[in-house]
Amino acid sequence: MFVDPISVQLPDGIEKDRYAIATYYCSGSRETNLMEFGTALAIEQSTGTWTAVPGETAEVRERCMGRLIGAYEVPSYQIGVPEFVRERHFIIRIAYPTDNFGPQFAMMLSSVIGNISSSGKVKLIDLEFPDSFLEEFKGPKFGVEGIRKYLGVYDRPLLNNMIKPCTGLDPKGTAKLAYEVAVGGVDIVKDDELVSNPCYCPLVERVKYVMEAIKRADEKKREKTLYAFNITDRPDKILENAHLAIDAGANCLMINYATVGLDTSRMLAEDESIDVPILGHSDYTGATYECEWSGLSLTLIGAKLPRLAGLDMIIALTPYGKFPILMDVFLNSAFQMLSQWKHIRPIFPMAGGGTTQGHLEDLVKKFGKNVVIAAGGAIHGHPMGAEAGATAFRFGIDAIMAGKSLYEAAKENEALKVAIDKWGIYSGAAEKQFSIKNN
């Protein structure tokens, strides 16, 4: 076996400001040579191909070749591989020169998980970027701090509602439900990801009806409400949709970032004329993260990369209801949104996907105040109506922040009691050891 010495480097031996570092989880056969496998990935994603070519000179390799900076086996066999082992598992770290792709998502992802995404069991689980790369990204305009400032809410989790049914409502029907949930205490209402500009509910008309309803609701409850209008469309239509919505009165936008692409989302977020928060919906991300052996990790495609693209809050699918997400993966993704990261503002995880009033205690225990609790069915499907469903959430949030248990709070509020009777209180016994507090 020959390994080009340029392709294998110590992590402390590279000029770190020149490289983005990709970490992969991989698998090979019993006979796989870890060093050969790792360098093959690095070369495939930078200067080389399956055979030598004249143009791949020493100068080209020095300037552009990916460097294998870490190769580890799990378990860490050192003196032999047991006879029963047929598949070996590896953690591989490769440093790629950022000059190969520049400060953008399309070519960056092409460079770190392009061809090798079709190479069998190779999953990209993390990316680390040099300061010079990060400095080219503006990040979120609002984030946690900006959204709290707009709403004037600093001391509790925020409450979100997704309008249900998902599709089929006209502008007046959407506005009616938006008013009910806003009056009930919802801070952020959003379109469903399946509604953007359909013929039966045109975007501009929907904005006008909904924002008039939101204004009435805010006057009644004496609080502010954001409504995130879905502007997902062809890339060349998205900015037009954004301006049409804002001109009609929209105070928040939503984009299905995985279907339109991260660069398109970034274009929207970094446009100086877009002066409202942007919610990123995570639909379609499961196509890239669900397989344990391929694609990207949820922490990357569901948190870190859309945050870098400039989105202010992101739907974080929870393990409470209809999605098969591990609790630790959910928590890690939320941590990626909330942790300090150079100049890239922390953003809100919007925990949703089967969330009920019975999950409030567990969410507050895990996140403290810096989470948006997102509910659709548990508000619109409340036996006493959508307003009562929202009120049940808000009463529960306020009671828990005041130190009461959810069980105690349910004794004091009929709407909350009805919700708890219907959906129960989440115990979370298996996950009690996990806790993220961002107070």
pLDDT level of residue 1 (50, 70, 90 thresholds): low
| pLDDT tens sequence across 336-366 | 999 999 999 999 999 999 999 999 999 999 9
Choosing from 281, 304, 359, 369, the catalytic residue is 281
Q: Is the pLDDT of residue 439 over 80?
A: no
pLDDT level of residue 232 (50, 70, 90 thresholds): very high
| pLDDT tens sequence across 427-436 | 874 444 333 3
| pLDDT tens sequence across 272-326 | 999 999 999 999 999 999 999 999 999 999 999 999 999 999 999 999 988 889 9
Q: Which two tokens stand for residue 11?
A: 């992590």
Asked if 281 is an active-site residue, the reply is yes
State mean pLDDT over 243-258. 98
* pTM of structure: 0.93
Handedness of CA 334, 91, 123, 112 (dihedral sign): positive
User: What's the pLDDT at 330?
Assistant: 95
Choosing from 123, 164, 304, 366, the catalytic residue is 164
Q: Using a pLDDT cut of 90, give the percent of the chain over it.
A: 90
Q: Using a pLDDT cut of 70, give the percent of the chain over it.
A: 97
The three-class DSSP label of residue 224 is: coil
Q: Which two tokens stand for residue 335?
A: 């941590």
- How high is the mean pLDDT of the chain? 94
Domains and CATH numbers, the chain: 5-134 (3.30.70.150), 143-423 (3.20.20.110)
| pLDDT tens sequence across 360-384 | 999 999 999 999 999 999 999 999 9
| Closest among 128, 143, 156, 134 to 349, alpha carbons compared | 143
Report the C-alpha gap between 185 and 223 in whole angstroms: 8
| pLDDT tens sequence across 378-394 | 999 999 999 999 999 99
Q: Hey, which residues does 228 pair with through a beta bridge?
A: 190, 252
Report the C-alpha gap between 182 and 218 in whole angstroms: 7
Taking the CA of residue 165 as centre, how many other CA atoms within 13 Å lie in the half-sphere pointing to its CB?
5
Q: Is the pLDDT of residue 140 over 50?
A: yes
Handedness of CA 341, 342, 348, 353 (dihedral sign): negative
